[in-house]
Amino acid sequence: MATVTLRLAPRPAHVRTARLVASAMARRSGVNEELLDDVRLAVGEACARAVRLHQRHGVDAPVILELTDGEDFTIVVTDSVADGVAGATPDRIDLVASLTGASGVVGEVLGAGTRTVGRTDDGSPAAWVATEVTEITEMGLAETPGWVESERLGLAVLAGVVDDLRVERRADGTRVHMRWPIKD
Amino acid sequence: MDITLNSRDEPGYTVLEVAGEVDVYTAPTLRDRIADLLDAGQRRLVVNLTSVEFIDSTGLGVLVGSLNKARELGGSLDLVCPQERVLKLLRITGLDDVFSVYRTVDDAVVDSGTG
């Protein structure tokens, strides 16, 4: 088992670097060719989310990307923005939906999250995205076309392309775990 | 690779050709370009994603935000996308129900009755 760790300054330009490294390492590790696009997308989404989060909060600490190959191929993306908006509820999701007029997308995202991840505690992507969307709305960023949509869509994409996805919220940040099989 | 944007006005509609990678770094460029077209009075936009190498949720979010803005102005924003990779993303996110998606620019123009 070997781990490669990248520390990315939270700049949008570096997300592409993360994608390139992840897909190169996934290929070398023996992840099925058909899954490489999914790896690239998922890493891009997880890192883009972390970078957006760091920028919103003015956090200059690096986003940490850990890639490990062993019996399978795992990627963990860690941000260091403390959990400031805990306790989002479905009511707040509905509020956001009505604010943005895109309830179809919300429903789709929540459906995807529920389908993919069994946990219903704070590890659930649905609760996770609700929290972050609420935060963006409260910060007034929803005025910028595409902000809220990007957060929701990012989760839908993650849930859609990673079969084994786990979100770990900690006091000092969030860790997004992703895992893919390696062919024999 | 960065992003390349080229727009051309046709009678009754405007085509925006997008090439390269649309991600958290380049999506603001796309957002601003579409906003400029709407500000300039263009109301029927066809966004051609045929030459897009990669698009993430930031890019999709910009397209949704722009679609909402176009509709508020009484306009439209349709997508052209023959690539299975991008079509899969649209299905995963449910956006295939939100956008009209066509295989070619000609299909988009004929269907929206502007050709």
The pLDDT value recorded for residue A104 is 37
Cβ contacts of B95 on chain A, cutoff 8 Å: 105, 153
The pLDDT value recorded for residue A86 is 35
A34 touching chain B per CB within 8 A: no
Q: How many residues does chain A have?
A: 184
Percentage of chain A modeled with pLDDT above 90: 41
For the ranges A36-45, A110-119, A163-172, B60-69, the maximum mean pLDDT occurs at A36-45
pLDDT in tens, A112-122: 333 222 233 34
The pLDDT value recorded for residue A52 is 86
Q: Is residue A117 a contact partner of residue A165, using CB atoms and an 8 Å limit?
A: yes
The pLDDT value recorded for residue B94 is 85
pLDDT in tens, B59-106: 998 998 899 899 999 999 999 999 999 999 999 888 888 899 999 999
pLDDT of A32 strictly over 60: yes
Per the DSSP assignment, residues forming a β-bridge with A51 are none
Q: Is residue A105 a contact partner of residue A152, using CB atoms and an 8 Å limit?
A: yes
Candidate from A36-40, A61-65, A115-119, A123-127 with smallest mean pLDDT: A115-119
Distance between CA B49 and CA B78 in Å, rounded?
10
pLDDT-based confidence at A129, cuts 50/70/90?
low
pLDDT-based confidence at A106, cuts 50/70/90?
very low
Query: Which residues 26-85 of chain B have a CB within 8 Å of chain A?
Result: 27, 31, 35, 54, 56-58, 60-66, 68-69, 85
The pLDDT value recorded for residue A110 is 37
Distance between CA A84 and CA A63 in Å, rounded?
18
Mean pLDDT of all residues in A10-15: 94
Cβ contacts of B83 on chain A, cutoff 8 Å: none
Q: Is residue B104 a contact partner of residue B113, using CB atoms and an 8 Å limit?
A: no
B94 touching chain A per CB within 8 A: yes
A103 touching chain B per CB within 8 A: no
> In the sheet where A2-8 sits, what is the strand order?
A2-8, A63-69, A72-78, A173-181, A164-170
pLDDT in tens, B12-43: 999 999 999 999 999 999 999 999 999 999 99
Helix, strand and coil content of chain A, in percent to the nearest 5, comes to: 55, 20, 25
CB-CB under 8 Å, B56 with A41: yes
Distance between CA B107 and CA B100 in Å, rounded?
11
Q: Is residue A41 a contact partner of residue B56, using CB atoms and an 8 Å limit?
A: yes
The pLDDT value recorded for residue A89 is 32
Secondary structure string (H, E, C) spanning chain B = CCEEEEEEEECCEEEEEEEEEECCCCHHHHHHHHHHHHHCCCCEEEEEEEEEEEECHHHHHHHHHHHHHHHHCCCEEEEECCCHHHHHHHHHCCCCCCCCEECCHHHHHHHCCCC
pLDDT-based confidence at A105, cuts 50/70/90?
very low
Q: Is residue A132 a contact partner of residue A34, using CB atoms and an 8 Å limit?
A: no
- Round to the nearest angstrom and report the end-to-end CA distance of chain B: 33
pLDDT in tens, A82-101: 754 433 333 333 333 333 33
Instruction: Look at A21 and A146; give whichever has higher pLDDT.
Output: A21
Distance from CA of B25 to the nearest CA of A (A): 5
Q: CA of B66: how far to CAs of A67, A117, A144, A161, B35, in Å?
A: 35, 31, 10, 25, 7
Q: Is residue A162 a contact partner of residue A176, using CB atoms and an 8 Å limit?
A: no
